[in-house]
Amino acid sequence: MAPRTTPTQRQRRLGAEIKKMRTEAGLTAEYVAGLLGVDRGKISNIESGIRNISPDRLRTLATHCACADERYLSALTDMIQPSPDRWWDEYRGRISPGLLDIVELEWHAARIQTIQTVHVPGLLQTEDYARSVFAAVLPALSRLEVELRVAHRTDRQRVLDRDEPVPYVGYVHEAALRMLFGGRDTSRGQLNALLEWSERRNVVVRVVPVELGSFPGAGHALLYAEGPVPQLDTAQLDSAHSPEFMHADLQLSKYRAHLEWMDQMSLPADTSRDFIHAILNDL
């Protein structure tokens, strides 16, 4: 199989897990190359996501690394296989690879949790609301680029609408609910849509009231995608240049603690819904 020029985040993550397995077992790349019957350069390419690895070779490596966690190995094997429904490929070459990586991360997640402090979660945004968010990007986007991103953001909602929708929990700060992106009419439409989303069986919306004061990670937007096993969880933060993806053990522990705080301190789902209604009635 020919090497990839630009591996996706999912492909890079698979490579990182393979490297982690090898290094924790104390095996050198040269040893693994001989074990799998490939040259040393291919091991480096596999671990960087540039080349794929076959399921048989993955299990051979796991055996020699004394990795017997079958759920973990099955999840890694699934990552080797191409996604049967890669609808986001229609945007490839039209929007940044980082945005496509977010979609793929969401699509394969076992559960998604997000924290938003400035605006409503992207997965739950209306077209008009999303359009107002993208219109405020610097440097300014062209009208065509704004509409492309709006379409892409709307299409991301497929993960919540498909036959087996991904469970989703969105923690939203009260400040985000009161920000008038697009003006009062757009904000009313967005809050109504948010309430409709919150009625779905797979969607939970929790509000963090202003009166709670400070909280962990204040000011940062977080997307936490749970993998098939905890070892494959991923935390994603927004930045001005591109999304940042993190999966080191200490990083995941930190953001799990953030989410645990949110779960303990934010309003219950029913109370959050009433809270959103009250803000909507004030507009």
| Of residues 81, 79, 72, 97, the one with CA closest to residue 5 | 97
Q: Which two tokens stand for residue 131?
A: 């359009």
Res 217: pLDDT: 72
Q: How is residue 252 written in tokens?
A: 């995941």
Write down all domains in the chain, each with its CATH number in brackets. 9-80 (1.10.260.40), 87-282 (3.30.870)
pTM over 0.85: yes
pLDDT at 27 over 90: yes
Q: How many helices (H) and strands (E) does the chain have?
A: 13, 6
Residue whose structure tokens are 């690895």:
53
Going by C-alpha positions, the residue among 220, 215, 227, 196 that lies closest to residue 264 is: 215
pLDDT tens for residues 57-108?
A: 999 999 999 999 999 999 999 999 887 889 999 999 999 999 999 999 999 9
Q: What is the mean pLDDT of the chain?
A: 94
State the SS3 of 257-278. HHHHHHHHHCCCHHHHHHHHHH
> What's the whole-number mean pLDDT along residues 29-42?
94
Using the predicted structure, report yes or no on whether residue 154 has a pLDDT greater than 80: yes
Mean pLDDT over 235-262 rounds to 91
Res. 124: pLDDT tops 80 = yes
pLDDT of res. 3:
60
pLDDT of residue 216: 76
More confidently predicted of 109 and 82: 109
Q: Find the helix packing angle between 40-47 and 29-36, rounded to 10°.
A: 100
